Structure 1
Amino acid sequence: MHADVMAPPRAASLELRASMSFDEWSGVGRRIARIASGSAWALGEWLLFGERRFGARYRSAIEATDLDYQTLRNYAWVARNVDAPRRRDELSFQHHAEVASLPAPEQDLWLHRAVMHGWSRNELRRRMRADRAADRAVPATVVRVEVSSDVAERWRRAAEAADQELREWVRAVTTAAADATLH
């Protein structure tokens, strides 16, 4: 952050230049939000490392952070369930928390849509709920695709690697490809 816009940050306050413009003020807010989102990722990764490396002893280090245990567990849960290569810098940690319970290809699909359309976390949540409701309300159309046995086996291995049923994996991957092509 720029020294001409704000004083050096302190743990419990933020001093901003009284004469700053709206654009400068907005920029400071965006930078703070990015730092906050990055901090959530860092704390989640830190906790996962501590669990793996130090076992039960990591709890004493958690107490040193003065953060709520459940908050830290949530950070770790999102970090565990959304692999680093899948994360989108353009989106907040909270966007990723919305998709963390989904299989990997569906995470990609929804994160891609959120980036493409500039959705807020709340809009992403709304769209995901609407999609689930539509899936329940509309009868499915069966589409048959003939592929070689080599291709079918490759798809099965990919679905297994994504810990998904083949049908769900194909649905998520083809939907993501259609979205990318149409946008």
Structure 2
Amino acid sequence: MARRTNLELTSGISLDDWQKIGKQLFVAADSSAWWLGDWLIYGRTMYPDRYQRAIEETHLDYQTLRNYAWVARRFAPPRRRPALSFQHHAELASLPENEQEYWLDRAERLSWSRNFLRSRVKAARQAGEQTEQHAISMRVEVNVSRDRRQRWIQAADDADQDLQSWAMSMLDHAAAAVLMG
């Protein structure tokens, strides 16, 4: 039984059912951010004092509501990825559309968490800043068997990447897993 202030679960539900309920709750919470953003966008054209009214109706603060509307405006409904959370999209909202699509594609295809996506975008920005500042590049050589190299090339092809990009993403993924602990 769900009420505004609590969720009452019957005793003895299976782990599978408990997980399904959690997934449904997440979907409702994540969807509500999109819904509020779209609601505010609609209100923009109809009601000049929409934020004051929205604060009164939702009891959310102004900045939260502005963020929902901003992200919803940056991602028209056809561009929103159902497999990714609102927060994934929020991480990318400040980027140009082509970069948003690049990162959304990667996050969706590789099932990245929001935090991992954030770390990859941050690393890419830092790498870009270093490149712009004429940073010293690092060259790494790895001697591997022909079979291993072929397996890596096949994996890179399957991921729609060249070998170097794939290897970098795998190393970044491994480093993030170790650092996040």
Same fold (TM over 0.5): yes
SS state of the match for residue 82, structure 2? coil
* Closer, same or farther: CA 46–126 of 1 in aligned 2, 3 Å: same
Report the count of equivalent residues: 139
Shift of 1:25: 1.2
Structure 2: distance between partners of 1:102 and 1:74 = 15
* 1:19-168 → structure 2 map (5 Å cutoff): 19-56=12-49, 59-138=52-131
Structure 1: distance between partners of 2:58 and 2:45 = 18
Structure 1: distance between partners of 2:20 and 2:109 = 21
Shift of 1:137: 2.5
Shift of 1:28: 1.1
After superposition, the C-alpha distances for 1:35-71 in whole angstroms (9 at most, x for unaligned) are 1111000001101111111112552243122222221
Structure 1: distance between partners of 2:50 and 2:78 = 29
Aligned twin of 1:159: none
Task: Say what the alpha-carbon RMSD is for the aligned residues.
Answer: 2.2
Query: Which structure 1 segments of 5+ residues have no match?
Result: 1-6, 141-177
Residues 1:181 and 2:174 aligned together: no
Structure 1: distance between partners of 2:69 and 2:128 = 30
Shift of 1:32: 0.7
* Closer, same or farther: CA 92–13 of 1 in aligned 2, 3 Å: same
2:9 aligned partner, one-letter code = L
Contact 2:88 2:117 in 1 (8 A): yes
Structure 1: distance between partners of 2:56 and 2:158 = 44
Shift of 1:136: 2.2
Residues 1:16 and 2:4 aligned together: no
